[in-house]
Amino acid sequence: MSDGSAAELARTVEALLFLAPDPVPTGELIEACEVSEVQLRNALDLLAEELAPGRRGIVLREVAGGWALATDPVAEAAARRLLARPKTPPLTAAQAETLAIVAYLQPVSRPEIARIRGVSSESAVQTLGERGLIEEAGRSRFGAVIYRTTALFERLFGLSGLEDLPDASKFDPTPEDAADLRERLLRAGEQRAAP
């Protein structure tokens, strides 16, 4: 690229900083572009001018580790709306069951969830955790992680609090059974797991 113009070099430097996840030291830019230090300095000056604050959506920054592109603060609110939005893909059956167990029985341990569902529920628990619907709430006295639902869970289900959960008896196939909900879920789960 030694024959490229300063403008073309500035374009290349912009592209490199766009791609790099971390700040790039001047020396690495010189090596990647195969130019002299003077040529690179000139290109950086040109780029700094084009990306001066207020001109574009991204700005050039010189930080501790080298050079980096960053977004202009003008986009902050829109960025939060676009990117900090919770992901809400449809729940799979396994996720819905796991979430129902945590919601109605909380706090509840992972082994209990597995016993009620009759299958190990690791991946459902993990996904629900990543999506911020459930969180760890300490450990049971046997050392198992216990879970509860989060404020985001209430928000995404349109609940003003846990007392707002639909009445379990409405969906209960045998509402006449007087035993405790937890006990009955565990009993049904063990029947399911039996060969």
Partner 1 sequence: MRTADLELDLDVFAGPFDLLLAIVLREEISLLEVELGDVVVAYVEHLEEEGELDLEAATEFLVLVAALLELKSRLMLPTEEEPELDLGPEEAADELLARMLEYRRYRDAGAELSRRLEREAPYLHRAAPLPAELRRVSIEAARQAYDPDRLGVALGDLLSAPPTLDTSHIRPTVSLERRLEVVRALLQRASRIDFDEQFGSEDRLTQAVTIFALLELHKKGEATWSQRSNFGPIEVSGQRTATGGQTAKARRES
**Which residues would be at the binding site for its own copies (CB under 8 A)?**
1, 8, 10-16, 18-20, 24, 28-29, 31-34, 50, 55-58, 69, 71-72, 74-75, 77-79, 81-83
The C-alpha atoms of residue 121 and residue 111 are separated, in whole angstroms, by 9
Kindly state whether residue 11 participates in binding partner 1, applying the rule CB under 8 A: no
User: Of partner 1, its own copies, none, which one does residue 124 interact with (CB within 5 to 8 Å by kind)?
Assistant: none
Three-state secondary structure call for residue 133: coil
CB-facing half-sphere around the CA of 164: CA atoms within 13 A? 10
Given the complex with partner 1, which of 37 and 122 has the nearer CB atom?
Answer: 122
Alpha helices in the chain (DSSP H): 6-19, 26-33, 37-50, 76-83, 93-105, 110-117, 122-130, 151-156, 181-193
User: Of its own copies, partner 1, none, which one does residue 62 interact with (CB within 5 to 8 Å by kind)?
Assistant: none
The bridge status of strand 58-63 relative to strand 66-71 is: antiparallel
Q: In 3D, which of 87, 73, 67 has the Cα closest to residue 18?
A: 67
User: Of partner 1, its own copies, none, which one does residue 33 interact with (CB within 5 to 8 Å by kind)?
Assistant: its own copies
Binding to partner 1, residues 94-133 (CB under 8 A): 95-101, 103-104, 110-112, 114-120, 122, 132
Kindly state whether residue 59 participates in binding partner 1, applying the rule CB under 8 A: yes
Binding to partner 1, residues 143-172 (CB under 8 A): 143-145, 151-152, 155-159, 164-168, 170-172
User: Of partner 1, its own copies, none, which one does residue 68 interact with (CB within 5 to 8 Å by kind)?
Assistant: partner 1
Question: Closest distance between partner 1 and the C-beta of residue 44, in Å?
Answer: 18
Three-state secondary structure call for residue 66: strand
User: Of partner 1, its own copies, none, which one does residue 190 interact with (CB within 5 to 8 Å by kind)?
Assistant: partner 1
Binder among 81, 160, 163, 176 for partner 1 (CB under 8 A): 81
Q: What is the DSSP letter of 159?
A: -
Phi, psi dihedral angles at 16 (to 5 degrees): -65, -45
| Residue 96: other Cβ atoms inside 10 A | 13
Given the complex with its own copies, which of 11 and 182 has the nearer CB atom?
Answer: 11
